[in-house]
Amino acid sequence: MAFFVGLHTIAAVVWVGGMFLAYTAVRPAAMNLSPEERFKLWKSIGAKFFPVVGVCCIILVATGYGMIFEALGGFSSSGIHVHIMQGTGWLMIGLFGHLISSPYRKLVRSLKNGNTQDSAKALASMRRVVGINLLIGIATILIGATGRYWA
């Protein structure tokens, strides 16, 4: 259990912490850049951070179900917080899948074509998805870390 909890927590911290930094610090700081520089910056951030998030998703799912089946005695003996976390966890993974396959891909494509309007639209849509996922991520961390005391 200690091994699973350790990996699970690191993956959660890296993913949600990364979104927190992007939303609360990088986004306002990047407002000083020209639109073209801003689009390129977010494209590079995505290229570096999204593969890391992909690994975090795999670790969260593997260790999450590892804990359920190896330590908690299966679904029927897991608390309600685990069932809620499973739902919000898959929702976050689905939103991340949407982020990389739709708005991020549009940003990369529009940058290649030099289409500033499409880049701005894609970036606005990325910001919305990351904002929603950040809120769900914070709620999931709260549910995961506190659940055993109330579930």
Residue in 18, 46, 64, 103 binding ligand HEM, rule: CB under 6 A: 64
Question: Between 22 and 85, whose beta carbon lies closer to ligand HEM?
Answer: 85
Please tell me whether residue 140 binds ligand HEM under the rule CB under 6 A. Answer: yes
**Token digits for 118?**
């499409």
Residues 6+ apart with CB under 8 A from 22: 45, 49, 130
Minimum separation from the CB atom of position 13 to ligand HEM (A): 8
Question: Between 54 and 147, whose beta carbon lies closer to ligand HEM?
Answer: 147
Residues 6+ apart with CB under 8 A from 20: 134
- The alpha-helical segments, DSSP class H, found in the chain are 2-21, 27-30, 35-70, 80-101, 103-113, 116-150
Please tell me whether residue 68 binds ligand HEM under the rule CB under 6 A. Answer: yes
Q: How far apart are CA 38 and CA 15, in angstroms?
A: 22
Please tell me whether residue 19 binds ligand HEM under the rule CB under 6 A. Answer: no
Q: How far is CA 131 from CA 14, 16, 77, 96, 135, in A?
A: 16, 11, 33, 11, 6
Please tell me whether residue 133 binds ligand HEM under the rule CB under 6 A. Answer: no
Minimum separation from the CB atom of position 17 to ligand HEM (A): 10
Contact footprint for ligand HEM (CB under 6 A) = 5, 8-9, 12, 15-16, 60-61, 64-65, 67-68, 72, 79, 82, 85-86, 89-90, 92, 137, 140-141, 144-145, 147-148
